[in-house]
Structure 1
Amino acid sequence: MAAERRAAGAIVAALLALCVSPAWACRCAPQTLAEYFQRAGVVMQVRVEQVEIVGNGVGDGDGHAHRRAQFTRLQDYKNAAGVDSLRTALDGAACGLALQPGARYWIFGTLAPGSTQVRTGSCDGSRPIDQGFTDVAADAVHEVLLEQRRALDCPSPAPAEIAARLQLTAVPRAEAAITGQRSPNSAYAFWIENPSPVQRPPRIAKLLIDREREEQIELRLHGIAAAASAQWVNEKLVLVRVPWSRHLRSEVLIDVERAAILSVDSARLDETGRVQHWLDADCRRQP
């Protein structure tokens, strides 16, 4: 029995040794650069200036030993403004980064609410600047990340593509226009025909404007996500609000007398539906 107990103890010890060895402790599946970017809360390029070991023990939990680094930010690709330090596990077995002063890194990490310190590790995609990714060579990472940032700042479809979804034409006048919403001077009227919520995409809404002429104005909105709405700005201008998606909305200003679209302003929305920022043709217009 004693021999069996000793054998069992040896097996358990061997298994524990395997569990804490670097070959077993940090295992993560390689991802594409786009996947790392999408999952990260912060993406930036930095030059590490100073590294110190903080805390006691092993691992990267609160109170445990970890590396803390001060850095110079070289490029902000995603939400890096205000970040002032990095935190990573102390050793590679816990997926930590061996940060070296003077070296440059791609950093993909997470940022807790109210914190200015990014947590990162090798499984997040962070690595020295001269290392590429499974799908992108090192010398192409910068360009690809800039495209990822542009896609973040300018959600698809881009403003030029939005304009292509707006179709303004003249159609024969229909008497039904008298039931629409009248202009302030009661000279003109408009009404909206929104698609059914159960209609399969692409959904098309239609705005008709009666100008007391033989022809009416018809504005078709191709590919809307929810019901469009409109209102009179003055006696001859109509403002149309178009929800293209949960996070993208346009405001279309129509000159009724000229039968022309005067402007198309598009905005990116947050999770609550509030405007985060407006987009111009280059997707750079801020509030």
Structure 2
Amino acid sequence: MREADRTKSRSAYFGKFMRYDRKFGFLVLVGLFLFDCNYHYYVPKASSKSGSIPNLSKVKIAYIGFRSYFTEMTTSSAETRIYTASLMYPDRTIFKFQNGAYASDLKSTGYRKDVSSDKVKNFVQDYLNEVKDSGVLELTYVTSVEKKGEERIFKLKDIGVDYYVLGIHTPAFQTSKHFGGSALQLFSSIFSVISFGLIPSYASLQAGTEIKIYDRNLNPLTSIKYDHGYSVLGAVWASSVPEECRRMGCNALKQVVSPPKFVYQELGPQFEMDIVSFIQARSAFRK
């Protein structure tokens, strides 16, 4: 090979090396951004008007639900990806209530023969229509199904309570709160990546809770709905709130994910205050 050819060859080699080196450096920087990005969640807190929660010493309450979701990919192919959101066990968003206990912590002494199969079935369907199949386990704490031939008999377990309180969180999948919110989230995420986290990403997201109260015979009494949407800011300079969201601990940029349980936790006192207020008002009316 002639010297001129060798020179050209070396120049071409170093040119390729420089291009690959730049690409590698860019990928490293993007990787560092993804690793160092913190998320700050702005979550609504319980109303200051809630005050202290009264004790209902003569009333027994069983709580059901109050679980967030987790999302996983259940089907993946060249054409399709299917994600499934399921209730998260054993975690609950509200660890403990001042009045009453979770049905899972109560012992059954048998079955209530005075509550019809149809009424128990309606109660079961009411819950499963909202949370789907992953709610079956939750219902086993208060109900049972017996198969007689082609017929299914629904039974209510006797756990000795006066009220049943269902807590259902929504949505199962992370969803933008406002029209066009997905586009804002996408563009802010792109600019955040390009700027290596100096420009923040932003998302305004939905969160809601529905509380359904039933009497001891599973008659529906009331439904209370809450809209407590939240927002997320992500950047390398952002403070991580909560602390677990430090360095991508809570990846709000993922396209398919469920809202984290902590977006519901702060409202526990407000939930219970409204439940207790309803029961007190009902008791006073019945007197």
Range into which the TM-score falls when normalised by the shorter chain: under 0.3
More strand by share: 1
Q: Which has the larger radius of gyration?
A: 1
Q: Which structure features the higher share of helix residues?
A: 2
